[in-house]
Amino acid sequence: MVTVKYNHNYEDAKKVRTEVFIQEQGFQEEFDDIDQKSVHVTIYVDKEIAGCARMFYDDDDTIIHIGRIALRKKFRNQGLGRWLVEHCEKYYENSNIIRFTLGAQCRKQGFYEKLGYHCVGDVYDEEGVPHINMIKNI
């Protein structure tokens, strides 16, 4: 059974982000002040933490940035990434949000395009990993 939690789960999100972004992918600057103003989303498979994301207002109160989207290795390629992003978007379903933004690792660009996102701007470097900004208008 897959379940989702919003907020009150930062410690679980930190575990996933440490495992995926720091230990697996080698990022050093994973945690920042944005964590304090974010809604943290975690998903669980049979009560075991599987993945996470964070969401915060970007620029104004009509744009939400979704970031730090991560799944632990054993939970990948099962449709949970799609499920996670869709639940992030659903959280703001009855709000005045007109756009979602995210900074995708370039190797994941196709995944986000399948979810309705498209690229804007140029590729940029984040700790040696190429990224691209992507948006989805509602």
Give tens-digit pLDDT for 34-91: 999 999 999 999 999 999 999 999 878 999 999 999 999 999 999 999 999 999 999 9
Residue 67 neighbours by CB distance under 10 Å: 17
- The encoded tokens of residue 60 equal 């104004």
- Tell me whether residue 41 is exposed, middle or buried, using C-beta atoms within 10 angstroms of its C-beta: 0 to 12, 13 to 18, 19 or more: buried
Res. 103 pLDDT band, cuts 50 70 90: very high
- Tell me whether residue 81 is exposed, middle or buried, using C-beta atoms within 10 angstroms of its C-beta: 0 to 12, 13 to 18, 19 or more: buried
Q: Name the DSSP letter for residue 127.
A: T
Helices and strands in the chain: count of H runs, count of E runs = 4, 7
- The encoded tokens of residue 110 equal 């196709």
Res. 110 pLDDT band, cuts 50 70 90: very high
